Amino acid sequence: MRDVFVIGSGMIRFGRYPERLLEDFAGEAVRAALADSGVDPGRIGMAVFGHSQGGRVAGQRVLRELGLTGISILNVENACAGGGSALHTGWMAVASGLHDVALVVGMEKMQKGLIPPNPGEYEAVLGKTLPAKYALRARKHMARYGLTAAQLALVSVKNHRAGALNPNAHYQKEVTLEEVLASRPVAEPLTLLQCCPTTDGAAAVVIAGGELARGVRQSVVRIAATTLKSGMYRNALKDPLSSDDDVATRTGAAAYEMAGLGPTDVDVAEVHDAFTIGEILAYENLGFCPRGQGGRLVEEGVTSIGGRLPVNPSGGRLSLGHPLGATGVVQVVELTRQLQGRCGARQVPGAKVALAYVVGGSTPGIGSGASTVHILTM
């Protein structure tokens, strides 16, 4: 397998676009990525789209609008990990040598608002919806490790502070610790400002292998690792609340091995903070701190912009927004630009190694159905 590089990135400002078609705003992200890469669109051999609610052949409908047709087009669904899974798939196409240049797009128009349960998804029917599931994990963390409500809320404060510096974030407004704690309870201890909003969005990257990747831009970013894994049945049965810890830990460990790097090498990360507790657990599962110490990490400012390991400088799911299939790709857009030094007020100075992590597809019996970790290097 050959090296694969991100040679262009694009996104729209995340937000609510009830009047815009998915085809329209996803096309805007694709055009931005193509322009950023400078690559001739005629060189793109394959396009992979990650989405959950776009309907049949949604990627084809997007590219039809751009006249970018005739190529290999694939739609990938893996719930909140759909964008990461699309990048993983596009990477296979280029790493294998089948295509020299591929387009990877994550997009979602959250037409249905909340995510409805699948048929047979008995846990959700019984009330164990995603907010409830994450709330239980937060409670358990509090009981076992002494995580405090304030530490949890600080994740939201930190990410909204970053989002306020990101002109593409859905919410560009700081919130105080008091505001987070006093906001409406959704599933205690998670308050409204600790749950991601309902956001439409699209993001795209152009990836390339071989000679082409070295010619188009001065600062291309290497995909040093890409891993996709699912939760394990036996672990979920042992401890339903920590099965996500297991999938994140395994997916992260495989990525570190593939990249030949470890947690201490990471300079900046984007992780799955659909709920504040998700980010705390990500710290621990990805080895940013020992287990149980995630609350302290955010409290000490380690993961803030300016800290030792800034996490979610984009504003994360809590402030940038979380359009399911778009998330895995927009994380890589943010991290590519961080490595390229293009992030203005929220720039992490001198970042050389970046990590992106998404998880999703709640599946009773195995926890999460899909998780991806990508490690990018300059």
Residue 191 Cβ vs a second copy, minimum distance, rounded to whole Å: 26
Amino acid making up residue 328: G
Least CB distance to a second copy at residue 192 (A):
24
Per-position x/- string for 84-123, each x denoting binding to a second copy as judged by CB under 8 A, each - no binding: -x--xx--xx-xxxx----------------x--xxx---
Q: Which is nearer to a second copy, 138 or 224 (CB)?
A: 224
Considering only CA atoms, which of 216, 263, 158 is closest in space to residue 40? 216
Can 322 be counted among the known catalytic residues? yes
- Residue 48 phi/psi, 5° resolution? -120, 130
Nearest to a second copy of 44, 332 (CB atom): 44
Catalytic residue among 141, 160, 272, 322: 322
Q: Is 148 in the site for a second copy (CB under 8 A)?
A: no
Query: Is 98 or 345 the residue whose CB approaches a second copy more closely?
Result: 98
For residues 175 and 324, give the distance between their C-alpha atoms in angstroms, rounded to a whole number: 24
Q: Is 196 a catalytic residue?
A: no
Residues 27-56 that bind a second copy (CB under 8 A): 46, 52, 55-56
End-to-end CA distance of the chain: 19
Which listed residue (16, 20, 43, 64) binds a second copy by CB under 8 A? Answer: 64
Footprint of a second copy on residues 201-230 (CB under 8 A)? 227-230
Residue 66 Cβ vs a second copy, minimum distance, rounded to whole Å: 9
The least CB distance from residue 112 to a second copy, in Å, is 11
- Least distance CB 235 / a second copy (angstroms): 8
Asked if 57 is part of the footprint of a second copy (rule: CB under 8 A), the reply reads yes
- Residues sharing a CB contact under 8 Å with residue 165, sequence separation 6 or more, in sequence order: 172, 305, 315, 344, 345, 346
Q: Near a second copy by CB under 8 A, which window of 148-156, 197-205, 337-345, 359-367? A: 359-367
Determine which residue in the list 311, 320, 370, 376 makes contact with a second copy, applying CB under 8 A.
370
- With a CB cutoff of 8 Å and minimum separation 6, the contacts of 68 are 30, 41, 44, 47, 103
Residue 233, SS3?
helix
How many residues of this chain interact with a second copy, rule: CB under 8 A? 57
Of 108, 261, 135, which is closest to residue 195 (Cα–Cα)? 135
3-class SS at 212? helix
Residue 306 binds a second copy, judged by CB under 8 A? no
Nearer to a second copy (CB atom), residue 78 or residue 377? 78
CA distances from 298 to 88, 151, 319, 349, 353 (A): 29, 7, 16, 19, 20
Provide the 3-class DSSP secondary structure of residue 12: coil
Count of CB atoms situated within 10 Å of the CB of 3: 15
The region, left, alpha or beta by phi > 0 then psi within -120 to 50, assigned to residue 146 is left
| Three-state SS letters, 252-306 | HHHHHHHHCCCHHHCCEEECCCCEHHHHHHHHHHCCCCCCCCHHHHHHCCCCCCC
Separation in Å, CA 99 to CA 5, 140, 225, 227: 13, 46, 18, 20
Of 85 and 242, the one with the shorter C-beta distance to a second copy is 85
Which CB, 237 or 345, lies closer to a second copy?
A: 237
Tokens of 159: 């990410």
Please report how close the Cβ of residue 76 comes to a second copy at its closest, in angstroms.
6
State which residue, 78 or 347, has the beta carbon closest to a second copy: 78
Determine, following the binding rule CB under 8 A, whether residue 310 of this chain makes contact with a second copy.
no
Q: Does 333 bind a second copy (CB under 8 A)?
A: no
Catalog residues that contact a second copy under the rule CB under 8 A.
Answer: 1, 21, 23, 46, 52, 55-61, 63-64, 67, 69-79, 85, 88-89, 92-93, 95-98, 115, 118-120, 227-234, 247, 250, 360-361, 363-366, 369-370
Which residues are identified as catalytic?
80, 322
